[in-house]
Amino acid sequence: MQSLISSEGEIWEQQRRYVLKQLRDFGFGKSSMESVIIEEVNDLSRRLVAFNSEPVEGIKNKLSLAVVNSLWNIVAGTRYNQDNPKLRQIAYQVTGAFEEAAKSSGLLATVKWIKYVMPELSGYNAVRRAMNDIVEFVSETIKQHQATYQEDSPRDFIDAYLAEIKSTTDPQSSFYGKAAGIDTTSTTLDWAILYLAKQPEILKKLQKEIDEITGNARQVSFSDRPKMPYTLAVINELLRISIVPFGAPHRVIFDTEFKGVFFPKDTFIFINMHYMHHDPKLWEDPDSFRPERFLSMDEKTVLKIEYLNPFLIGRRQCPGESLAKDTVFLFLTNLVQRFDIMKDPSSPEPTTEPAIQFTITTQPYKVIFNERNLV
């Protein structure tokens, strides 16, 4: 099966158009989706409270399980206990696979033949093992949906996709016998925890804005977003800092010369997103975490900066942008509302130097979550 990233042409057009439509129907900004995400936030919060202010290590794994669970609930209508062995195996194996692939300095993503020459060293075998487990996991879920499918009442994204497959008789269609996948935003949230622990003044400003909006009488909801400029600025800065280093590939469809550089037909072009978001010509002090760069002088309006493109560029822009932003917003605000986040004084100072990965990931660190007194 070709994904939205690896496909092109008519297949890509069909997949993207349909995915956008169904995600709108089953997700973006709806109260049903909000309740699904909040359920996972609350579960994660209970697990953090159980640490009883002891240092938490490997927060990204915990974030990954919670975020994957919320998105899988939207896609497949199923919620797993975060202690589910299969869910944990897949989440951790995928992380491990990308760590292995990163050891080849990204060659697996850019040099297509490397997997044949160095399948183990390039990380290809590790990625393949993880993908096989995911395919098995997803296939079993699809079989369960097929057994209980009712044409007139789709329950979730998979049911809607099965309906499209059922109505398609053209074997050349990209929907013929295929299903879709999901992605996570745990890396962005992982960076959020790290920066808030290192820069408590930002955490306090976030909490102040949240407290003023909610009165500490309820949790943060989608409807609060227009009244939270500082929070949105923090999220924009997180997206600038934590974005994947390279965008999805674009293919040159005919011989092209651009600014004196010749690109032969079928050349693959990757956008250097990391450079764009750290170019000192575009961003003042680009390596510093400063949400204020996205705010007006009075800090009441969020500025739209054209150089911020965390969800890629052009027609290859990520179709899950709204879903990702919604998930980050609800997780970040509701965790910050409930907890003070601090560095572990018994551990070395955590660094913001990224680990070498396909995404810009954090290096290992420990933090402490102290439950706030919201009375």
Give the residue ranges of the annotated binding site for heme: 318
Cβ 341 vs Cβ 197: under 8 Å: yes
Of 198, 285, 189, nearest to 235 (Cα)?
189
Distances 291 to 232, 295, 333 between C-alpha atoms, Å: 9, 7, 15
Strand partners, 368: 342
Annotated binding site: 318
Retrieve residue 23's tokens. 């995600």
Q: What is the dihedral of CA 318, 127, 145, 40, to 10 degrees?
A: -70
What is 227-295 written as a DSSP string? G-HHHHHHHHHHHHHHS-SB---EE--S-EEETTEEE-TT-EE--BHHHHTT-TTTSSSTTS--GGGGB
The span from the first CA to the last CA of the chain, in angstroms, equals 52
Give the separation between CA 119 and CA 123, rounded to whole angstroms. Answer: 6
Retrieve residue 28's tokens. 């973006």
Q: How many other CB atoms are there within 10 angstroms of residue 24's CB atom?
A: 14
